[in-house]
Amino acid sequence: MKLPTTEEIIDDLGFFDDWEERYSYIIDLGKDLPAMDVALQTPSRLVKGCQSNVWLDVDIVDGRLQFEVDSDAYIVKGLLVLVLAAFNGKTPREILNFDINNYFQALDLERHLSPTRGNGLRAIVAKIRAIAEASEAA
């Protein structure tokens, strides 16, 4: 799957008139996300703080972090695509410098998520940022 860019996602979401259409778009993004190998869906890869199960794996290729993610909920898989658009294939410094709050505000996202989904989204971002910090320090 070729991930959309953050700019493409912002533009695409801006095209829709209401949040029901935007949710459908996000769910469709999640349906296109390749499934993670079941062997990688281990407790150590589970992101704590998410209502749904979310698994996160990372490889470093040429100094760039390549994430593989999965969830047992399509809406969460769609949210993972939004996060991957911001972070996947970036250097640790690029990840740490990216203004994720501004991105989420541009998507008008958190206002439309349940508190538990919003907390899960923040937990995913925090986990990725922690990985970037540890990778940069290594």
Residue 76, SS3 per DSSP: helix
The per-residue pLDDT for range 14-31, each reduced to its tens digit, is: 999 899 999 999 999 999
40 given a catalytic annotation: no
Q: The tokens of 103 are what?
A: 């991105």
CB count, 10 Å around CB of 83?
Answer: 21
CATH code, 6-137: 3.90.1010.10
First to last CA, the chain: 30
123 pLDDT tier (thresholds 50, 70, 90): very high
* Catalytic annotation, pick one of 9, 33, 47, 50: 50
- Tens digits of residue pLDDT in 65-110: 999 999 999 999 999 999 999 999 999 999 999 999 999 999 988 7
Rounded Cα gap, residues 104 and 109, in angstroms: 6
Residue matched to tokens 């493409």:
8
Phi first, then psi: what are they for 126, rounded to 5°?
-60, -40
